[in-house]
């Protein structure tokens, strides 16, 4: 799927918070879970009206760099 075929919701957090969110029931993980549900609902609605699907990326702050592309970040951080 090309990036012009999707709407990305991107959030950056401290690397430590992203790692903790993947391992335990932290507030960051709970919020990320809610955003994923929102994206699924938005994608379902978009499909009905001819819109693009939504996806959520929770990105570690230290992964953001001038040489990173949205495609690369999407492949690495898609939830």
Alpha-carbon distance 75 to 42, whole Å? 21
In the structure, what pLDDT confidence band is assigned to residue 2 with cuts at 50, 70 and 90? low
Query: Any residues with CB less than 8 A from the CB of 77 and at least 6 apart, and which?
Result: 57, 58, 59, 60, 63
63: Cβ–Cβ under 8 A, 6 or more apart, which residues? Answer: 15, 73, 76, 77
Residue 65: give the domain boundaries. 3-77
3-state secondary structure of 28: helix
Q: How many domains does the chain have?
A: 1
The answer to which of 7-11, 68-72, 75-79 has the lowest mean pLDDT is: 75-79
**What pTM value is reported for the model?**
0.81
């Amino acid at each position: 799927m090309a990036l012009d075929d999707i709407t990305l919701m991107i959030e950056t957090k401290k690397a430590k918070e992203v790692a903790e969110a993947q391992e335990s029931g932290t507030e960051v993980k709970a919020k990320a879970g809610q955003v994923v549900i929102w994206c699924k609902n938005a994608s379902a609605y978009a499909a009905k009206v001819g819109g693009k699907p939504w996806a959520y990326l929770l990105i570690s702050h230290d992964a953001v760099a001038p040489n990173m592309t949205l495609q690369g970040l999407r492949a690495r951080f898609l939830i």
